[in-house]
Chains A and B, each alone.
Chain A
Amino acid sequence: MTPSLHLLVNGVRREGAVPPTERLLDTLRWRLNLRGTKEGCRSGACGACTVLIDGRPRLSCLTLSHQVGEAPILTVEGLESDPVGRAVLETFVAEAALQCGYCTPGFVVALTGLLKEHPGATETTLLEGLQGNLCRCTGYSSIRRAVTRLSEPKR
């Protein structure tokens, strides 16, 4: 029997029958049509599928959908509804901190989670927190510039 699943995604309650072995990544992308969360290595090495669970960056490829329980999930599609997420998005756009854009949802979600978890975090803390997100295009240079701006104290 396929057990029923209840998720809270971007503030909306979703429910349906989902196999117990299904990964959150696949539930989000193919059942809920939230394809902003990108499928990369499916083994926890690239960070492209990062979402926030209970405000913290988590790899949706290594998370079973049934593990999430009541915890709220925030994906890249919900980022604009969050003030920190909005600031991260705006900074990435302003700095063009992307090229092909495939790793970008993972980066902006992870950075949003880091900034929420550690308000006023230093640049070093943020860069350390992004080690699990790989980018093959930018050489991380423009991403660093975005991180620098986001770690500057607000005037």
Chain B
Amino acid sequence: MIRSDARLKARGALEFGVDLDAPGALHGVLIRSPVAHGRLRRVDLDRVRSAPGVVCAIGHAELAELLPSGRGATAHPAFPAAELRYRGEPIAAVAARSLAEARWAAARAHLEIEPLPIFAQIEDVFPDWPGAGEGESEHVNAHVLARQGDVEGAFARADRVVRGKYRTAGIVQMPLEPHACLARVDGETWHVQSSTQSPFGAREDTSAILGIPEEQVVVEASWVGGGFGGKGAGLLEPYALLLAAAARRPVKLQLSYAEEFELSRSTLPSIIWVESALAGDRILGRRVRLLLDTGASLPGRDFATGYAIGFIAGPYRIGAVELEGYAVKTNKPPFGPHRAPFAPQCVFAGESHTDEIARAAGWDPLEFRERTGWREGDETPLGQKVGPFGLQEALERARAIRERWKKELPAGTGLGLAVGFWSTGTSAGGEVLLRLTPSELVVETVEAEIGSGSVIRGLVAVAEEVTGLPREAIRIGRTDTARGPYDAGVYGSRTLGALGNAVGDAGTKLLQELARRIPGRGELRLEVIGGSCVAVRNGSRVTVASLLTDSERATGGVLARGRHYGRGGEILAERVLTGGFYAYTDFTAAVHLAAVSVDRETGQVRVLRYAAIADAGRVVDPPTYRAQVEGGVAMGLGEALTEETLWNASAELQNPGLLDYRVPTILEVPPIEVEVVEGFLGAGPGGAKGGGEPPVIPVPGAVANAVADATGARVRELPLTPERVARALKLL
């Protein structure tokens, strides 16, 4: 069996967040803002409270009495006091005996709201790229500017300049399981079970929003029905806890799909300009300009602009580079992380541009990338040295696949190549506890298995490697934030790397401890004989049961704590003129090839074949790694072809549902060829690099380049809907 959770999941026998229940639990519903921008004049919940089945209704006015004295006035309270910043922002909440009663009651709230001007789109703030001084605006969350070399000079010396303006759409993570949690307040302890990717992250957010010390908030993860970055923050937990405090009973809170679309904090639209100065086949200089819609994000919460913008410069040798971006504040819901946050969009622009350069000059797009692509030791625009990087070898593999496809596919098929890179790594750290009992090894962690397999397979595989025990004798023991060791969360392609290293550390310590108890010099390993764990050293076998101390027998086994807090990279401070930029850690390449056919009458794109070559460092568990690449590609195909949030001039989401926001179906994802390049080692166990995010990154770029190859028409806007393709083909 490939996955130990497969049998239970196939039978529907695991408890996800939506399945949580407790005796006497009430059902909560959020009362949310009907407008995208306004000033709250009055919140009257009397008619909510008098509705049948209602136990409590709370808004900003009730925070002070519910929270420990003086704690209600946090910087960003659960319910706003006055200004409403986006449609759907929670204003109040109600708990009732049934969900139907809570919904009915929520609709009876009386809200008086003074409308304020709505900034729905980037263009409402900046109609075009802001000129000097025009970027100083209250509608800017962040401004970043970095420069390497003489950019002006590069453009002055150029033989040719290639320019492009690209647009990308808002997308949502849309895990099949919506956010859900179950909260209760026991005396001083605020306890919440939640479908979360990061129990400690949810605890930190909840503590900050409610003003309750972190130690008094206990978060326990349930099984998580997909996350993709959307379940990493304390989104629902504070509201559920407040309702539980007010009702003095457990409260279940779950988002509907429509709420999921509005509240889950994902990627918003962007406008990207790229221009390159060329001399022969060298890129003398590049200017990148980015306007990123960050919605109603709070100032100081911009993590994307100064990070993602580097991906537009690409993993290429460029003489001089200027990167400038604005995080634009609009009245859309706040921006948030979504599997390789904003990187597929940046790489779509960057790789479309790379192809445009190559095609304009008549060069083979693959050879051009081979000539200009980074090799280990090259320098990034921010002055960082590129570490072990499998780009060149992945391009070589892509060449072989492309030659084979050219023979096999009919004429007229478009072939597109795109290169993505990502910074995986282990700098967001964590800890685990290993517990060796006479019959099994338990990996104790707060983290839930969110689907990727990084916990249930990744951590177990590392424990197998370090101890010698078979996987059947190793189990994940999930615990809560009160009892469990700290970990940053299951996100950012860091789980196997950071937490896996912590398992390795703990396993090594565990074996050292056992070695102290068995005389001899040779290496100690563990194995299972007849259902019992046995330590093997110098050919002699001793049962673990016989090695336990009296106190270990009482507490359940030998304990070993492992930790890993990796180092981040460094950038040259003098390259940064304004704002925050971030260093990369493990340089991780992804090279993709797409084969498409384009309907010349409708503009419909069909992906016929897809190949993904991954720079894995070292693959710890091949089936799980392959599954991550396959799933990433499919998610990227949605971003490339169909997924797009549509907003009207009042910043209202027009398509909050899966009938109008189309994710790929089984017939729209072709079989995916996965190849792996190993040996360019990262910081994870045995040199593993993170695998969850890289495979989504090159997909929109590869598809756009394939469409251009098939038709000669360049679509510079995501997603590549039939309408946009038809316009590029001049059919409309």
Contacts and interface: CB of A to CB of B under 8 A. Distances in A.
Interface of A: 29-30, 35-46, 48, 75-77, 79-80, 89, 92-96, 98-105, 108, 127-128, 130-144
21 contacts: A37-B12, A38-B177, A38-B225, A40-B176, A41-B657, A45-B659, A46-B658, A48-B176, A76-B11, A80-B11, A89-B11, A93-B7, A96-B2, A99-B453, A102-B175, A102-B451, A105-B11, A105-B12, A139-B630, A140-B634, A140-B669
A55 to B, nearest CB: 19
Given A40-B177, A42-B256, A142-B627, 17 more contacts: A35-B15, A38-B12, A45-B659, A89-B11, A92-B10, A96-B1, A96-B6, A101-B10, A102-B451, A131-B665, A136-B663, A138-B634, A139-B634, A139-B669, A140-B664, A141-B669, A142-B630
Contact of B225 (A41, A101, A132, A139): A101
Contacts of B2: 94-96
Contacts of A92: 6, 10
Contact of B226 (A35, A93, A130, A136): A136
Contacts of A75: 12
B666 A96 contact: no
A109 to B, nearest CB: 9
B5 A101 contact: yes
B175 A100 contact: yes
Contacts of B15: 35
Given A77-B12, A134-B663, A144-B671, A98 B176 contact: no
A93 B634 CA distance: 21
A7 to B, nearest CB: 18
A145 to B, nearest CB: 9
A152 B672 CA distance: 21
A130 B669 CA distance: 13
Nearest to A33: B21
Given A35-B19, A136-B175, A139-B632, A99 B623 contact: no
A136 B666 contact: no
A135 B664 CA distance: 8
B534 interface: no
A44 B665 CA distance: 14
A141 B627 contact: yes
A36 B667 contact: no
Among A40, A92, A105, A137, the most chain B Cβ lie within 10 Å of the Cβ of A137
Among A29, A46, A132, A139, the most chain B Cβ lie within 10 Å of the Cβ of A139
Interface in B663-699: 663-667, 669, 671-672
A37 B286 CA distance: 53
Contacts of A79: 11
B224 A99 contact: no
Nearest to B638: A136
B16 interface: yes
A103 B176 contact: yes
B3 interface: yes
A66 to B, nearest CB: 16
Given A45-B659, A133-B666, A139-B633, A36 B177 contact: no
Contacts of B3: 96, 98
Interface in B1-35: 1-3, 5-16, 18-19, 21
B174 interface: yes
B6 A98 contact: yes
B628 to A, nearest CB: 9
Interface in B630-649: 630-635
A76 B451 contact: no
Contacts of B178: 40
B223 interface: yes
Given A96-B6, A136-B228, A104 B672 contact: no
Among A42, A96, A101, A105, the most chain B Cβ lie within 10 Å of the Cβ of A101
B666 A98 contact: no
B102 interface: no
Nearest to B20: A35
A108 B10 CA distance: 7
Nearest to B2: A96
Contacts of B451: 99-102, 137
B450 A100 contact: yes
Interface string B451-466: 1110000000000000
A41 to B, nearest CB: 5
B665 to A, nearest CB: 5
A77 B11 CA distance: 6
Contacts of A95: 2
Contacts of A139: 630-635, 669, 672
A35 B17 CA distance: 11
B631 A137 contact: yes
A102 B226 contact: yes
A131 B257 contact: no
A130 to B, nearest CB: 5
Given A39-B18, A98-B6, A138-B627, A131 B666 contact: yes
A136 B667 contact: no
A79 B666 CA distance: 23
B659 A38 contact: no
B668 to A, nearest CB: 9
A105 B669 CA distance: 21
B697 to A, nearest CB: 15
Contact of B452 (A36, A99, A130): A99
A95 B6 CA distance: 9
A80 B8 CA distance: 12
Interface in B135-159: none
A38 B11 contact: no
A137 B225 CA distance: 9
A80 B12 CA distance: 12
A99 B623 CA distance: 11
A87 B12 CA distance: 16
Nearest to A142: B627
B635 A136 contact: yes
A145 B3 CA distance: 16
Nearest to B631: A139
Contacts of B13: 36
Nearest to A102: B225
Given A93-B10, A139-B672, A141-B671, A100 B257 contact: no
B368 to A, nearest CB: 29
Given A46-B658, A102-B226, A139-B634, A128 B667 contact: yes
The 7 residue pairs across chains A and B that have the minimum distance between CB atoms: A36-B12, A101-B9, A100-B451, A139-B634, A102-B225, A99-B451, A96-B2
Nearest to B629: A139
B537 to A, nearest CB: 35
A135 B245 CA distance: 36
B502 to A, nearest CB: 23
A119 B672 CA distance: 28
Contacts of B453: 99
A93 B228 CA distance: 23
